Amino acid sequence: MIQNLKTPLKREETQKLRIKDSVYISGTIYTARDSAHQRMIEKGSPIILDGAVIFHAGPIIRKQDDDYIMVAVGPTTSTRMNPYQAEILDQGALAVIGKGGMDKRTSEALTRNGAVFLAAVGGCAALYVSSVEKVKNVHWLDLGVPEAIWELEVKDFGPLIVAMDSTGANLYEEIRKKP
């Protein structure tokens, strides 16, 4: 099933998503990698996490006059965020975009919060950047361009596949169990 979602997400929407569903997102999403996740937990988040979509990505950015232009943005390996992701979900984020899946602690947080993990395809940075309409803001640029939190306005960002849902279902585990 194909779902078109608008941010901020609503728990009633994310709870209906099931593994193997295709998702496209419009609205605001935020890139965040390990350093940003760690700082959000230690110092508090500079973004509103209620209904937020967090994208595990380290974008390539070009500065043009006073604006930032996104050149490419693709998923990074999500397991690096395992130490932090459950707490970010507990603070209100309802979707995580990344690649490779996440651990049991994160899966439990997805279930507890009615949230989902959306798999993005590695190597599709040019496709995903075509859905970025604008770089709205940047937070914690002192962490470096890849590690900063980039606030993106997106339209039909995807395709993304629900790989872990709020029922505890996990597409990666299903695939590993197949003979």
CA angle 69, 74, 32 (to 5 degrees): 80
The single residue listed with the structure tokens 């395709």 is 159
Query: Is the peptide bond preceding residue 146 cis, with omega within 30 degrees of 0?
Result: no
Q: What's the rounded Cα separation, in Å, for the pair 146 and 32?
A: 8
Which value, in Å, is the radius of gyration of the alpha carbons in the chain?
15
**Contact indicator for 63, 45 with CB cutoff of 8 Å:** no
Beta bridge partners of 24: 4
Catalytic residue among 33, 37, 99, 139: 37
Active site residue 56: no
Which parts of 26-116 fold into alpha helices (H)?
34-43, 82-90, 104-113
Catalytic residue positions, numbered: 37
